[in-house]
Amino acid sequence: MAGEVPDLHAQERTGTGKGAARAARRDGMVPGIVFGGDTDPLAINIPFNVLLKKLKAGRFKSTLFNLKVDGHDDVRVICRDVQRDVVKDLPTHLDLMRLRRTTKINLFIGVDFVGEEECPGLRKGGVLNTIRNEVELVVTAGDIPESLTADISALEVGDSITISDIKLPEGSKPTIDRDFVICSIGAPTVLAADDEEEEDVAADEVPTAGEDAAEEAEGGEE
C-alpha cells in the first residue's frame, strides 16, 4: 500500500545556535535538525519556499521522506515538529527524525471515500456522514500507506463502515482498541425535514389544558 518515498533535499548547516539560525532565515532558508538513529544530530537548512509548498500540500508530518544532504548518505526521516512564527504562522524551524524501515511509529493516515456514485443509500437521497477523515495508526516506517480506503459502494441508509471494514497495511494497527465508526449513511434530508414539519403540525393541533378550560368556560357562559 505504501507509495514511492518522496525526496526531501537539504543543505548541511555550518554553525549552530541562534546566530546561525537567523543567518539561515535571512538567506531564505528554514533551519532544522535531524536526530535519532544512533547517529549524531545533523544541522540542516531547507529552502523556505520548498518547505512551505510541502506544508500546504498537507500531511507533512505523516509523510516518510528520503532525506538527501550532500556529503551524507540518504536517510529516511519523518517530521516530528515544525515551529512557526507566532504572528505570521510561517515555518521557522523543523525537527526530523531518522527511521529504520522496521521502526514502529504513530501516524495519522487520511481516509479516502470511494464508491459514492454506486452507493444505493446515497442514490436514495441519503447523506454521507464522515466521522473520521483520518485515523491514527501504529505503522512500520517502510510500509506507511498514502491513505486508507473506505468503500461505501454497497451501503444502504443506516449502514456504516468501521475500522474493521478497512484493509490496513501489514503490521499496522489502530491506536484505538475498539471497532470505531469511520462513516455512515444518514437518512435523506428531505424526509427528515418532512418528519420535523409533521411533528410541529401535530403539536399545534393538540390543545393544551388551558385551552380546554377556556373553551369550556365560554360554553358555560352561553
Q: Give me the CATH number covering residue 176.
A: 2.170.120.20
Q: Which of 99, 133, 150 is the last residue of a domain?
A: 99
pLDDT more than 70, % of the chain? 83
pLDDT tens digits along 100-125 = 878 888 888 889 999 999 999 999 99
Q: Is residue 170 part of a domain?
A: yes
- What domain range is 56 assigned to? 7-99
pLDDT more than 90, % of the chain? 60
| Phi-psi map region of 4: left, alpha, beta (phi>0 left; psi -120 to 50 alpha) | beta
pLDDT tens digits along 148-176 = 999 999 999 999 999 999 999 888 999 99
- With H, G, I as helix, E, B as strand and everything else as coil, classify residue 136: strand
Q: Is residue 186 part of a domain?
A: yes
pLDDT tops 80 at residue 83: yes
Say if residue 124 is in the same domain as residue 182.
Answer: yes
Say if residue 85 is in the same domain as residue 14.
Answer: yes
Say if residue 117 is in the same domain as residue 131.
Answer: yes
pLDDT tops 90 at residue 183: yes
pLDDT band at 222 (very low <50, low <70, confident <90, very high): very low
Residue closest to 137 by CA, chosen among 169, 103, 175 = 175
pLDDT band at 39 (very low <50, low <70, confident <90, very high): confident
Say if residue 112 is in the same domain as residue 75.
Answer: no
Type of residue at 18 = K
Rounded CA gap, 12 and 19, in Å? 16
Q: Is residue 144 part of a domain?
A: yes
Q: Where are the alpha helices (DSSP H) in 35-188?
A: 48-57, 120-123
- With H, G, I as helix, E, B as strand and everything else as coil, classify residue 13: coil
What's the whole-model pTM score?
0.61
pLDDT tops 60 at residue 217: no
Following CA atoms 173, 174, 179, 183 in sequence, which dihedral angle do they give, to the nearest 10 degrees?
-120
pLDDT tops 60 at residue 200: no
pLDDT tops 70 at residue 54: yes
Count of structural domains, the chain: 2
Q: Is residue 117 part of a domain?
A: yes
pLDDT computed for residue 1 by the predictor: 42
Task: For residue 39, give the DSSP letter.
Answer: S
pLDDT computed for residue 102 by the predictor: 84
Say if residue 19 is in the same domain as residue 88.
Answer: yes
Say if residue 53 is in the same domain as residue 131.
Answer: no
pLDDT tops 70 at residue 36: yes
The stretch 22-36 carries a mean pLDDT of 94
Rounded CA gap, 99 and 96, in Å? 10
pLDDT band at 143 (very low <50, low <70, confident <90, very high): confident
